[in-house]
Structure 1
Amino acid sequence: MARTLLFIALAAVVFVALPFVVPSYYVSLTTKILIFALFAMSLDLLIGYTGLASLGHAAFFGISAYTIGILSVKLRMSEWVAFPAGLAMAIVLGMVFALLALRARGSYLLMITLALAQVVWGVAFGWRTMTGGDDGLPGLRRPAFVSDETSFYFLVLALVAASTVVLVALIRSPFGLALQGIRESESRMQALGFNVWRHQFAAFVIAAAFAGLAGALYVYYNRFVSPDFLHVVRSAEVLIMVIIGGVGTLLGPAIGAAAIILLEDIISSQTQHWLLALGIIYVATTLFAPRGLIGLYRERFMARRKP
């Protein structure tokens, strides 16, 4: 416990001090890492703690971003309206996905979430008059109180930190423990009197809400939204972040997000074949660290402690 508190304190000091000791480029890169860490943790709530595989998580990320983009750029509404509207749309879409997808399990669930997400992507790509089609919606402005990189960084840091606290409290609550029980054995939890479908539905919606928050922050970070926000590649990318970091750990997906964003930044500056590199990274992780970076660390650490 003391070691965990020390780690949290050191991490807080590093993140708070970072904008004052590094160039603005690295502040911006860290902001992106924090946003995708939240995105990955939201998916881990589904995969790691509820046992529901999804290949359409980018739909919640993208629908929130598009809602903010349309309301801000097309309808000239205030961010105080656009931001909560983006989160609300992500939650509503999460409900729709849950109602349709929770009828299936395993690879069928994976394919249904993929198909539903592709429908949303198709709407964004084809509805040019509203979404801008493949050109997207440029010209989005950040709120005046976070117009510079440093203030926006601290806003993202505060929201991601608060979201992490909520997620940790959630998975340690009776509800979170019930989700983990459902992950292990649905039939046993039903026999114990738990409403499995209702718990899975709630987990789906909560995960969608946090993914929507990540999408809302990312559209203000990018100041632009396009169908790429909703694409299957985005869903696959965040899924790989979770797998590389370690499924069912929360910290692991955050580390996986940091690793992928940093590698993308380095590799993309050298070659255009980032997706090929991402595939190689995934295969290497599957072969040499099937439990992710967190699992690999635990195995090595525990091996050292054994006499």
Structure 2
Amino acid sequence: MNPARSAARRPLTAAVLLALAVAPFLLGPYAVGTLSRILVFALLALSVNLLTGLTGLPTLGQSAYFGVGAYTAAIVARGLTDIGILQLLIAAGVAALVALPTGWLAVRARGVVFLMLTLAIGEIVYSAAVNWKTLTNGTDGLAAIPPVVPLPGMSALELDGLVYFYVLGVFVLLFATVSRLGSTPFALALRGIRDNESRMKAIGYPTSRYALTVYCGAGALAGVAGALWVSVQRFVSPGDAGFEIAALALLAVVIGGSGSMWGACAGAALIWLTRDYLGNLEAVAGRGPLLLGLLFVTAVYILPRGLAGIRLPRKPSRRSTA
């Protein structure tokens, strides 16, 4: 990222973090719960951005690993432990294990074929969640999930505000980790695959291996998001692994700006607020999908580079002034 642009965004980043930190003290329980769900959805959008924006692999299958992580965390919470860190680690591990064989198949294709393969993977996981009733309880879902305990020795998080701070802490940690990834040689190789894979192969890069690695990493990140979803909702159903979640996550990346991490998060927030807040207003009640369609068309025409394409004002340098 351009250092000047990065410096211009630091005050905005600090303001957003401050607003997120004080939000539970200013908002009601419903709004705080909505913010928690937005943060979870933003993590899912980040996992999509790792594939679509960073590597050039448009995906409709991240809801599969989101669902795997959610069901794993729910089963662990009900039968093994209520410790949040263990739920996150186990959910990430299981989601990555599921992503390994499915990703091995998917990354052999590119473009529309890859998109269709990931869509098929998502539908397979959704069907498994519906039909594997002994494990998932079918369409009734898994309920009666105990409240999460972040770390051993801590109390269970019963209040919405406390759950929100738990989700916020995990979100900030993972966002910072993914941000650091963006400046590594591995990320540069992924951008090379996105821009000119043939040239990367010609100079000796094992592009399929790189793509499979980031695919498994994105699956693990989606699994963590699924585990956090269970901590917020304390319920999971097959719909959490369905096509709608996958489509909304991809739409968030497109609206936010493909390749931009903060853009993916902003797009996730905009979509969630449009669907769950504006879509429930009396004047447009029941027309949430219509609003999302209008939002997408407007963003494509007005902001072809997404929200990340908005130029922030910055202080002119001495050289440009001269």
TM-score for both structures, normalised by structure 2: 0.88
1:279 to 293, 297, 303: 293
State the alpha-carbon separation in 2 of the partners of residues 71 and 164 from structure 1. Answer: 25
1:27 matched residue in structure 2: 32
1:132-211 alignment, distance < 5 Å: 132-144=137-149, 145=155, 146-211=157-222
Counterpart of 2:58, as a letter, is A
2:246 to 224, 227, 235: 235
1:1-307 alignment, distance < 5 Å: 1-73=6-78, 76-80=79-83, 81-144=86-149, 145=155, 146-270=157-281, 271-295=285-309, 297-298=310-311
Give yes or no for contact 2:82–2:146 (8 Å, CA) kept in 1: no
1:34-54 deviation per Cα after TM superposition (whole angstroms, max 9, x unaligned): 111111111101000101111
1:157-202 deviation per Cα after TM superposition (whole angstroms, max 9, x unaligned): 1111111111111011111111111100011112222111111111
State the alpha-carbon separation in 2 of the partners of residues 125 and 277 from structure 1. Answer: 29
| Structure 1 residue 7, shift from structure 2 partner | 2.6
User: What's the % identity of the aligned pairs?
Assistant: 36
State the alpha-carbon separation in 2 of the partners of residues 101 and 218 from structure 1. Answer: 26
Give yes or no for contact 2:274–2:291 (8 Å, CA) kept in 1: no
| Structure 1 residue 207, shift from structure 2 partner | 0.8
Give yes or no for contact 2:276–2:288 (8 Å, CA) kept in 1: no
User: Which is further off, 163-172 or 2-11?
Assistant: 2-11
RMSD: 2.2
State the alpha-carbon separation in 2 of the partners of residues 82 and 169 from structure 1. Answer: 24
1:121-152 deviation per Cα after TM superposition (whole angstroms, max 9, x unaligned): 10111122321211111111222432221221
User: Which is further off, 272-281 or 152-161?
Assistant: 272-281
State the alpha-carbon separation in 2 of the partners of residues 49 and 245 from structure 1. Answer: 14
| Structure 1 residue 30, shift from structure 2 partner | 1.3
State the alpha-carbon separation in 2 of the partners of residues 16 and 237 from structure 1. Answer: 26
TM-score for both structures, normalised by structure 1: 0.92
State the alpha-carbon separation in 2 of the partners of residues 258 and 47 from structure 1. Answer: 18
State the alpha-carbon separation in 2 of the partners of residues 180 and 56 from structure 1. Answer: 21
Higher helix share: 1
1:1-21 deviation per Cα after TM superposition (whole angstroms, max 9, x unaligned): 543333333222222222122
1:22-69 deviation per Cα after TM superposition (whole angstroms, max 9, x unaligned): 222222111111111111111101000101111111001011101122
Q: Secondary structure at the match of 1:59?
A: helix
Q: Which runs of 5+ in 1 are unaligned?
A: none
Q: Secondary structure at the match of 2:40?
A: helix
1:227-266 deviation per Cα after TM superposition (whole angstroms, max 9, x unaligned): 1111111100111111111110111110001101111122
Give yes or no for contact 2:123–2:243 (8 Å, CA) kept in 1: yes
Gap change, CA 1:267 and 1:67, over 3 Å in 2: same
Q: Which runs of 5+ in 2 are unaligned?
A: 1-5, 150-154, 315-319
| Structure 1 residue 301, shift from structure 2 partner | 6.0
Counterpart of 2:227, as a letter, is A
Gap change, CA 1:273 and 1:132, over 3 Å in 2: farther
| Structure 1 residue 219, shift from structure 2 partner | 1.3
Counterpart of 2:212, as a letter, is F
2:152 matched residue in structure 1: none
Counterpart of 1:240, as a letter, is L
